[in-house]
Amino acid sequence: MPDIRTHNVHVYQVSSPEIARHLAFRDYMIAHPDAAQQYSDLKRELAKQYPQDIEGYMDGKDEFVKLMEKKALEWKAMTQTHQDLLTKAYAAFNDRDIDAVLAVMHPEVQWANGMEGGYVYGHEAVRDYWTRQWKLVNPHVEPTGFQLDRSGRVVVDVHQVVHDLDGNLIVDQMVQHIYTIEHGLIRRMDIRDDSVEAENT
């Protein structure tokens, strides 16, 4: 029975730019399961066609890989841009610098109201919401992870700690904030939270 190739190994020097390209491709596939399934199906078919012909196998997937690499690098750059914007916004929130956070929000932003439910709309409503919130509790939010979902929204894993004004701990939990970003500004923020009674920023 002839040997059947089951794996390919890519080897690069530590400083090679190819590493970043391959990692961007990998991360894009993880975030886009439909594209990953297409790639898996293509490789499976090519492996049947070219069991002992690595050149034929590579040529067969070259066009698809180049298209996905282009999308992956664009996606990676966008992800980093969004991450930088949101990291600064979280830092400004923790510093109670409302104006700095509003500066990265769309004028008609739709913002989840974690205390009372529903949403607040626009800069002044967000300002009023946070001003009221800070008179009741002392929240701190620290982003720990960023990813894009399949619709292009930014999903942020957030460590949320809330104390009352006397310093007593009320909440210490992980939540997810989900952002829609348009033209470099936050257009909408939603909260995904497993805790029913948590107070979210």
Cα–Cα distance for residue pair 175/190, rounded to 1 Å: 11
Closest CA to 149 of 124, 114, 176, 116: 176
Going by pLDDT thresholds of 50, 70 and 90, the confidence category of residue 4 is low
Phi, psi values for residue 71, rounded to 5°: -65, -40
pLDDT for 149: 85
pLDDT tens-digit map of 138-169: 999 999 999 888 788 999 999 999 999 999 99
pLDDT for 31: 75
Cα–Cα distance for residue pair 73/52, rounded to 1 Å: 31
Instruction: Kindly state the percentage of the chain with pLDDT values over 70.
Output: 92
Instruction: Kindly state the percentage of the chain with pLDDT values over 90.
Output: 55
| DSSP string for the chain | -------------TT-HHHHHHHHHHHHHHH-HHHHHHHHHHHHHHHHH-TT-HHHHHHHHHHHHHHHHHHHHHHHHHHHHHHHHHHHHHHHHHTT-HHHHHTTEEEEEEEE-TTTSSEEESHHHHHHHHHHHHTTEEEEEEEEEEEE-TTSPEEEEEEEEEEETTS-EEEEEEEEEEEEEETTEEEEEEEE-S-SS----
Is the per-residue pLDDT at 193 higher than 80? no
pLDDT tens-digit map of 70-109: 878 777 777 788 999 999 999 999 999 999 999 999 999 9
Going by pLDDT thresholds of 50, 70 and 90, the confidence category of residue 2 is low
Q: What is the mean pLDDT of residues 3-21?
A: 72
Query: Domains, the chain, ranges and CATH?
Result: 17-81 (3.30.460.10), 96-192 (3.10.450.50)
pLDDT tens-digit map of 114-130: 999 999 999 999 999 99
Tokens read off for 84:
């930088």
Q: Compute the Cα dihedral for 109, 112, 113, 118 and give only its sign.
A: positive
pLDDT tens-digit map of 27-65: 878 877 888 899 899 999 999 999 888 888 889 988 988
pLDDT for 3: 58
Closest CA to 69 of 35, 44, 46: 35
